Amino acid sequence: MLILLPPSETKRSGGSRAPLDLEGLALPALAAQRTAVVDALVALSGDEEAAARVLKLGPTQHGEIGVNAALRTAPTMAAIDRYTGVLFDALDAASLDAAARRWLGAHVMIHSAPFGPVGALDRIPAYRLAAAASLPGVASLKRVWADAVADAFAQAAPPFVLDLRSEAYAALGPVPAGVPSAYVRVVTEGSDGAVRALNHFNKHAKGALVRRLADERPRIASRAALLRWAEASGVRLRDGAPGEIELYA
CA neighbor of 182 nearest in space, from 166, 161, 151, 202? 161
Mean pLDDT of 174-203: 85
Residues 64-113: pLDDT tens digits? Answer: 999 999 999 999 999 999 999 999 999 999 999 999 999 999 999 999 99
| Residue 111 β-bridge partners | 117
Per DSSP, 21 falls in state: -
| Residue 3 β-bridge partners | 108, 162
Residues 210-235: pLDDT tens digits? Answer: 999 999 999 999 999 999 999 999 99
